[in-house]
Every structure is written in structure tokens, then in C-alpha cells.
Amino acid sequence: MDLAVRFGPRRCSQRSQLKCKGSLPKSFEEFASARIAMDATEVIQDIPSDMNCQSLSYSSYKSRRTVNAVTCVAPNGALVFSSELYPGSTSNSAIVDHCGVLNQLQAGDLIKAGKGFNIFDKLPSGVSLNIPPFLSNKAHFTKEEAELCYKIGKARIHVESANERIKNYDILNHIPAQYRHLSTKIFQLCCCLINLQAPLLKEIADKYEI
């Protein structure tokens, strides 16, 4: 179940690209082809009674049992996609591959994401991915790499802010076992409600002031 505000079908893609470019905030000026900023967020859950589920739900990154989702925000700050919730051990790359978000993109689109989204081998033809560079065997980034990290981080802060708003809903602080079968619907409803709040970006909000 994707958000009601998810991307439209492919025949609408060109129109959506133009809409994105027509509302680019300053932080995206150097990434004019950006379509989405992508990130992952997690929700804490009760320990499942089933041993296999216990193992699958354990997030080594968070050192606790969680369920995770991938969320995507348009350059103007609108939350445009949420995946279902997946067991905490599921990698970001695996979620992206399974949830179908890449099928909503077309040639010329650019994805902004963090280092945890090394999904170059999964991209549709013509779709680009921009993630911060890795240090590898180097001790420090070059000046150009450091500047790129800063620019990418500045452009990605919107999706991080959206995720923070999502998790401000108390019901997502901890989903008890009796609601586990509804957890994805609960999470995605909270995502939908985010778009009914004031715009994330001041320069976008200013356009709606009376």
C-alpha cells in the first residue's frame, strides 16, 4: 500500500518532472533534475513470539527490534512515497528493490540519498543516483568531495525532517503486538497526515501566506 499522494503513472511523468523543476528550493538549485530525496526510518515494536520473526526484526544498526520503511520527499518538501514496513534486518537496498518505488521514475530523474542506499545496480535506465562519496582507503575527503557531501546533505535534510515529523506521532513510538498486523497502515496514515501540516520549507510556505 503506497501513499495516496504517490507518483502518478508513467504517462504523467513528464508533467511531474516539470512540476518538480517549477518548485525547486534553493538547496536543490544544483540538482535541477532531482525527483526525490530518499531515506529510511524505523519504528520500535514488541518482541515477536516467533523465533524466526525475532531474528528478522533485529536491526544490527539500531541494536534493537524494529520495522523499517523507505520514504521519499519531493524537492518542495512534499512526502510522495512510503514503502510498507519491513523487518528491521532488511537492508535499505532490499526495501527499495522490493517496494516498487523505482518503477515510478523515468529517464532523466535523479535520486538524492544517503550512503546506505548504494543501489546503482538497481536503477532503471536513465535514472541517476547521487549519494555522498565513500572514504575507502583515504584518510580525508578532497575539497571537492567535502563540498559535494555538504550539498547532498543540504538537499537531503527535507526527507530527514519529514521522517522526524512522522515519528512525532505518539502511536509510532511503540507499536504493540496486537496492532502488528495494522502497523503498515498506521505508519502510512501518519505519512499522509504529514502533507496536511504546514510546508516543511519556509520558501514554499511563504508562497501560501495570505
Which three-class secondary structure string do you get for 6-41?
CCCCHHHHHHHHHHHHHCCCHHHCCCCCEEEEEEEE
pLDDT of residue 177: 78
- Torsion angle of C-alpha atoms 103, 109, 110, 116, degrees rounded to 10: 0
Rounded to two decimals, the pTM is: 0.76
DSSP element (H, E) containing 110: strand 110-112
Quote the crossing angle between the two packed helices 143-166 and 183-194, to the nearest 10°: 110
- Name the grid cell of 157: 535534510
pLDDT (tens, 9 = 90+) of the chain, 210 residues, equals 334 344 333 333 445 666 666 566 666 666 778 888 899 998 887 776 666 666 677 676 666 678 899 999 888 888 889 999 998 889 999 999 999 999 989 898 999 888 889 999 999 999 999 887 766 656 676 777 677 676 667 667 777 888 899 989 998 888 777 888 899 999 999 999 988 888 776 665 565 554
The C-alpha cell of 41 is what?
Answer: 526510518
Q: Looking only at Cα atoms, what is the longest distance across the chain?
A: 56
> With contact defined as beta carbons under 8 Å apart, do 101 and 81 qualify?
yes
pLDDT of residue 27: 67
Model pLDDT, residue 21: 61
Cell numbers that stand for 203 in this block: 520558501
Of residues 156, 154, 135, 136, the one with CA closest to residue 145: 135
C-alpha cell at 78: 512534499
Of 72, 69, 49, the residue nearest 59 (C-alpha): 69
- Cβ–Cβ < 8 Å for 28, 155: yes
Give the residue among 126, 110, 129, 106 at the shortest CA–CA distance from 118.
129
Of 4, 5, 7, the residue nearest 35 (C-alpha): 7
* Residue 135: per-residue pLDDT: 61
For residue 96, give the 3-state DSSP assignment. helix
